[in-house]
Structure 1
């Protein structure tokens, strides 16, 4: 496993640091970026920037950025391509160029810190731990090992990120999350934590969740549903979290059309199902998908189907049929809900 001193040594060799978040960054990614930037500051890197692509549409993510006053900038290709010597590039909470980010394939990366299962990571410093519940947990360890001060803002960001990523320490949690939380607890701003945990919800998000509830189809312990078209991509994981709590449901998958792509969010408590592998098997040939045993997501470009108008119900019907069929096949379930013999 990579050491904190190795991370410090790589940073010490740089003059500037560009941290690229994954598409549509969440609190785990954003808090990890803040933490890495703070470590970089201790070795004398004054020029630091955090870039993101996609949208920050989830109400908790917007509150996270606004309340913590995080300086985010839209992704700039020129910031990562043909970088001058001494300009470092880092990924947090993702790991491979052109996979859930807009960094061109083949771009050299200096630092990767991630907890998602993924292959093909190449960087000068790699801390990749799929066994932990959050990337923020890894950064807390490095902050401690390097003696970096944890002020209230950083501690609050990291603690909220760990809580959110693990659904309140109920999903994918390890002893490392509890140890990190213990370190952060007394330093965090309790009032700010409460505000982050209870942001206002937009009407569009409520509508999307209502559509997911109305369109649900249950096959045994598996629930599959869609929201049609929506501008609130982050309504999908919220709907998946809610629907996974329905009685008798062990796996909930929600998909919808956002701009020119199909987005998928899935949750599972079924010990027989690795939902990340299911999504990867279902959509690897047409898009990018995967994740953990209990939580996963994916994005599939619409391709030629994007030519349909935004209000064309035919497109929604086609997407529903195709995506549902692929999911049922990936889950080894027939249309009537029976398991298919392998």
Structure 2
């Protein structure tokens, strides 16, 4: 980590645009907020945080609303038509066109990320796959640079670290505990509690119930789907819940959201890397990947266009094709069901 190099790069800039990944989560949003604070400390008067997709998960909505984070919808012109002093940064993702709407030919100035990726290019790159959260990386920067960490920023970063590591139970490292120790005395405890227990919509409950009802288990692998849903963020919540089922150590849940198939995977099996599994199963038809313990994917529904455009028949076809690809990637016998 070279905090001073990042600070000097920002100090030479005039403006900063921080682009979140599609459908940003607390780790991404807290990291963007922290980078913006560093930019202000470096003398940048104006910074913007852009996002694409939706902020639909109840915790993510609460995070934005309770912390009053100023977000703008992604504007391609703002990242393409930049002046020399207009800096572009990615947090919690690393490459143009991968889980973001930035054109692949756009140059990036700053990348701060912990997700697996190859050949990350930027003027400043801090890409650490061995830490549990991007917010951990940003906590290190504000700490080393002695940037003011008020209650809002401290609460945002600590909540993001807790959420990304599933309460310090998934992918956690010593760095997360060290960051949490630094942030703890600076947080707003009431705000942290409200972020941790947001209300849940009935549609999300229904989607999770569908995932429970539609599950199939082969050995220690559970695969399920929610059919069509507007609750994209119910998929990771369902996967988090189903991987705790007795006898299950890998859970993969998928569903049709608008014009795409979304997948979410979780595992507690050290022999399984679900990021590699999803990439192997779907890289040829969509985008998929992630960490060894948690991963996600998105497949355009257009590949099923010949089967029709709505209704149970299409859902059935998607279920059969997606499940078959997952079983093949995991070398699972389709007949071994319980």
Tell me the TM-score normalised to structure 1 length. 0.97
Counterpart secondary structure, 1:80? helix
Contact 1:49–1:73 (8 Å) recurs in 2: yes
Contact 1:90–1:109 (8 Å) recurs in 2: yes
Q: What residue number does 1:167 align with?
A: 166
Which consecutive residues of structure 1, in runs of 5 or more, have no partner in the other structure? Answer: none
The alpha-carbon deviation at position 304 of structure 1 amounts to: 4.5
Q: What is the root-mean-square deviation in Å for CA atoms of aligned residues?
A: 1.2
1:115 matched to 2:89? The reply is: no
The alpha-carbon deviation at position 9 of structure 1 amounts to: 1.3
Counterpart secondary structure, 2:226? strand
Rounded to whole Å, the distance in 1 between the matches of 2:303 and 2:312 is 16
Aligned length: 337
Q: What residue number does 2:239 align with?
A: 240
Rounded to whole Å, the distance in 2 between the matches of 1:331 and 1:264 is 15
The alpha-carbon deviation at position 306 of structure 1 amounts to: 5.2
Q: What residue number does 1:206 align with?
A: 205
The alpha-carbon deviation at position 305 of structure 1 amounts to: 2.9
In structure 2, relative to structure 1, the CA distance for the partners of 1:189 and 1:310 (3 Å cut) is farther
Q: What residue number does 2:214 align with?
A: 215
Which consecutive residues of structure 2, in runs of 5 or more, have no partner in the other structure? Answer: none
1:127 matched to 2:130? The reply is: no
Rounded to whole Å, the distance in 2 between the matches of 1:308 and 1:19 is 40
The alpha-carbon deviation at position 272 of structure 1 amounts to: 1.1
Tell me the TM-score normalised to structure 2 length. 0.98
Rounded to whole Å, the distance in 1 between the matches of 2:57 and 2:319 is 24
Rounded to whole Å, the distance in 2 between the matches of 1:56 and 1:306 is 28
The alpha-carbon deviation at position 310 of structure 1 amounts to: 6.3
Rounded to whole Å, the distance in 1 between the matches of 2:220 and 2:157 is 34
Rounded to whole Å, the distance in 2 between the matches of 1:273 and 1:297 is 15
Rounded to whole Å, the distance in 2 between the matches of 1:220 and 1:27 is 34
The alpha-carbon deviation at position 307 of structure 1 amounts to: 7.7
Q: What residue number does 1:145 align with?
A: 144
Give a deviation string over 1:250-279, Cα, whole Å, max 9, x none: 000000011111100000011110111001
Give a deviation string over 1:183-205, Cα, whole Å, max 9, x none: 00010000001100000000110
Give the alignment of 1:1-342 within 5 angstroms: 2-305=1-304, 311-337=310-336
Rounded to whole Å, the distance in 2 between the matches of 1:328 and 1:69 is 43
Contact 1:260–1:306 (8 Å) recurs in 2: no
Contact 1:217–1:224 (8 Å) recurs in 2: yes
In structure 2, relative to structure 1, the CA distance for the partners of 1:288 and 1:299 (3 Å cut) is same
Rounded to whole Å, the distance in 2 between the matches of 1:126 and 1:85 is 19
Counterpart secondary structure, 2:230? coil
Rounded to whole Å, the distance in 2 between the matches of 1:157 and 1:52 is 17
Rounded to whole Å, the distance in 1 between the matches of 2:280 and 2:310 is 30
Rounded to whole Å, the distance in 2 between the matches of 1:238 and 1:63 is 16
The alpha-carbon deviation at position 104 of structure 1 amounts to: 0.4
Give a deviation string over 1:163-183, Cα, whole Å, max 9, x none: 000000000000000000000
